[in-house]
Amino acid sequence: MTDLERRALNDSKPVALDETSARYVGWRIVVVCFLVATFGWGLGFYGQSVYVAELHRLHGWPTSLISSGTTFFYLSGALLVVFVSEAIKAIGPRNCLLAGVFTMAGAAILIGRVTEPWQLYAANALLAFGWAGTSLGMITNTLGLWFDKKRGMAISLALNGASFGGIIGVPLLVGAIGYFGFPGAMVAAAIAMIVVMVPVTLMFVGRPPLHPSAAVAALSADAPSATRVRAQALRDIGFLSVSASFALVLFAQVGFIVHLIAFLDSVVGRERAASAVALMTAMAVVGRVLFSFVIDRLNQRLASAISFVSQAAALVVIINVHNEVALIAACALFGFSVGNLITLPALIVQREFAPSSFGVLISLITAINQVTYAFGPGVIGLLRDASGSYALPFYGCIALELVAAVLIMIRGNKKRS
């Protein structure tokens, strides 16, 4: 760090911040991130299940072809999200959020106008930029600038927007497609995102405060660089066990969710299938909110393992029971842990690693997980086409969930830098 940078930090003296106060400015950022997550997951994550079903209906393309477009989207996003921490440092959280909003809105419009397979890949490439600027890496890094002691609570509350995006996003998209058609519905969604997100981002996302812990990390003579932090993490058993276990589970979870409407459509119909997805994401909100009050006092690795096993149990029911009530109940059970599985990695990293490494490690673990789960929709689509049903790929998901439940319990040292 140069003398000029040291003087700048000394001039911006850290002050005691009462993160428990309802008046603390950071809670406004939580609201902004909640809205970002609502649109980001609604159009970038849960929306993929709508795109797969709708493009198959419109063009008759093989499920595996459309699903591979989703895989391409996640892979492209993974290459970008690893650098989110550096991007925020370079241009600030406000500009990063605005860039994510505009690129995702543009990508949504393009997806609605796809008529050839290559166009789907081009639209998903742009969507990947939007996803990197509106999803987990961006939200956790942004909130990390405003929160220290209450970071876990802030992240949990903000990421309820991800579940909310599924609760309202899928039914609204399905309903809008029925009313406006696929192209018109995607234009309407893009306009809604811009109209809501641009004003609140400009109004509330300003310069973050300087926490004492952040100042100490910044002024430390031996503060590791982002490259060094990544290199150390990739040799750390504790970090690798978190990355590997959540990567396997998210591979299964993302693949299952993307294909859920297509699976349930033939069993209970399109409208009931959309309702099941909405219930699943509603339960994700319930699960995350309940956990947010106690997660800081729990063994977070054990809580993760229990969540993995509960999803495996839900998949067993979904595969083998075609009773409508039982299917919906199983989707609810699966959804109860969906939200926590995107929150828990950040909380584990916060507990087990140094504060100065938080932003870099969250971007890295998000990228690793996304590279892995990017193949989920495509692999499940291929196995479905090859076997003629979803039983084989869903049983594979069960196996991955159980393996992950064992891996997550392997940990290294208590605290690393």
pLDDT of residue 221: 45
pLDDT of residue 217: 46
Q: Is residue 2 part of a domain?
A: no
The predicted model scores a pTM of 0.74
pLDDT (tens digit per residue) in 247-291: 999 999 988 887 887 788 777 776 777 778 778 877 888 888 887
pLDDT of residue 101: 95
| Full domain range(s) for residue 364 | 24-407
Say how many domains are in the chain.
Answer: 1
Query: Helices 47-59 and 160-180 meet at what angle, rounded to 10?
Result: 20
Q: Is residue 357 part of a domain?
A: yes
Query: In angstroms, rounded to a whole number, what is the distance separating the alpha carbons of residues 316 and 214?
Result: 46
pLDDT of residue 24: 81
- Give the DSSP letter string of 194-261: HHHHHHHHHHH--PPP--HHHHHHHH-TTPPPHHHHHHHHTT-HHHHHHHHHHHHHHHHHHHHHHHHH
Q: Is residue 7 part of a domain?
A: no
**The CATH number of the domain where 314 resides is what?**
1.20.1250.20
Q: Is residue 9 part of a domain?
A: no
Q: Is residue 31 part of a domain?
A: yes
pLDDT (tens digit per residue) in 317-345: 988 887 888 888 898 999 888 878 877 88
For 140, residues 6+ apart whose C-beta sits below 8 A from its C-beta are: 155, 346, 359, 362, 366
Q: Is residue 209 part of a domain?
A: yes
- 288 and 303 Cβ atoms separated by less than 8 Å: no
pLDDT of residue 30: 93
pLDDT tens digits in sequence order for the chain, 417 residues long: 444 344 444 444 555 566 667 678 888 999 999 999 999 988 988 788 788 888 888 888 887 788 788 878 878 888 888 888 888 888 889 999 999 999 999 999 999 998 888 999 999 999 999 999 998 889 988 988 888 777 777 888 888 888 788 778 878 888 888 889 989 999 999 999 999 999 999 999 988 876 545 444 443 445 567 778 888 878 888 889 999 999 999 999 988 887 887 788 777 776 777 778 778 877 888 888 887 777 767 788 999 999 999 999 999 998 888 788 888 889 899 988 887 887 788 888 878 887 777 778 888 888 888 788 778 877 888 888 888 888 899 999 999 999 999 999 988 665 554
Q: Is residue 348 part of a domain?
A: yes
pLDDT of residue 4: 37
Q: Is residue 38 part of a domain?
A: yes
pLDDT of residue 100: 94
